[in-house]
Amino acid sequence: MSASAPSILNWRVIVPFVLTGTIWGSTWFVITGQIDGVPAAWSVFYRFALATPALFLVAFLIKRRLRLNRPEHLLALLVGLFQFSGNFLFVYHAELYVTSGIVALMFGLMMVPNALLARGFIGERVPSGFMIGSAVAIVGVSSLLFNEWTTNPDAGVIGGNVGLGIVLALLGILSASVANVIQANPTGRAVPMVSLLAWAMLYGTVFDLGFALATAGPPPVPTQPGYWGGIVYLALIGSVITFPLHYNLVREIGAGKTAYNAVLTISVAMAVSTLFEGYRWTPITIGGMALAVLGMIIALRSKQVS
């Protein structure tokens, strides 16, 4: 980020910041419509089968190189398996059992495994303030998960095994964290981000197809217009449009300030869950949400480098 970077109040910052936070916050609920009566594995495949060619088109239009060498293809393969297969397959299946807003809130804690894995593999320092903030956030999220476990509100939740949903969400977080860390190596830094994501998404989509065929049988063809509308929204708006906006924000204001977008995303996700899934707030859940957001802010402030 240069010294002449725009103010966070500049429209070039506010518009993409709000758009990405709002869109990503809404996608968690849209996913619930993709797994009601349709195998989750096929919904993941349909999403990225549409998003992949669109992302290649974006890379072409903004003139990013699409030819990768062998190490870069290997990195794209690994990112695809962890990000666009493992992460999303675990998330879609987790939302069969846990309210979408809670899954989104759990993903707000992805900064913790991100930091620990970066410390272990690339030697990145973890500030004490980050650990304190993370601990506060974990207490907050834990109280929300405990409430989910004990009350298990059925509104908007297809299955009833909250414990399984929590485990699946944690595995999704770990998969996404691994993808984040491995793409930060020197090979990943040498590849235009959009190009790396396009190839990674292609590799992930191929794996998703094989997984869906092996675990869910022949591809279903849902007839509900709402289902395909959700696929289009998740693929084009939630995957293709937001990635360039997000990485442009990183370039404009730095990764530290951009990370605060997670707080907006979580707030939107919980608001949508309250409105459309019947999520019930209690003094415990209100306090847990407050602790989670406060902890994330403390942790993110300590990680700012720009």
Q: Which two tokens stand for residue 154?
A: 């059925």
Evaluate whether 196 touches 73 at the Cβ level (below 8 Å): no
Separation of CA 105 from chain center: 11
Residue 32 has pLDDT above 80, yes or no: yes
Q: Which two tokens stand for residue 8?
A: 């966070």
pLDDT at site 8: 54
How far is it, in rounded angstroms, from Cα 249 to Cα 229?
28
pLDDT at site 183: 80
pLDDT at site 102: 87
Residue 193 has pLDDT above 50, yes or no: yes
Sign of the alpha-carbon torsion through 95, 99, 100, 102 = negative
Span 176-203, mean pLDDT? 87
How far is it, in rounded angstroms, from Cα 141 to Cα 303?
20
| Secondary structure letter of residue 301 according to DSSP | H
Evaluate whether 201 touches 51 at the Cβ level (below 8 Å): yes
The more confident residue out of 246 and 167 is: 167
Where is average pLDDT lowest: 12-26, 65-79, 152-166?
152-166
Separation of CA 187 from chain center: 23
Domain ranges in the chain?
17-303
Confidence of residue 7 (pLDDT cuts 50, 70, 90): low
The dihedral formed by the CA atoms of 222, 224, 228 and 233, expressed in degrees to the nearest 10:
-140
Mean of the per-residue pLDDT values of the chain: 85
How far is it, in rounded angstroms, from Cα 272 to Cα 266?
10
Confidence of residue 128 (pLDDT cuts 50, 70, 90): confident
Q: What is the pLDDT of residues 250-293, one digit of tens each?
A: 667 665 567 778 888 888 998 998 898 888 888 888 998 899 88
Whole-model pTM?
0.85
Confidence of residue 155 (pLDDT cuts 50, 70, 90): very low
pLDDT at site 156: 46
pLDDT at site 3: 47
Span 199-218, mean pLDDT? 97
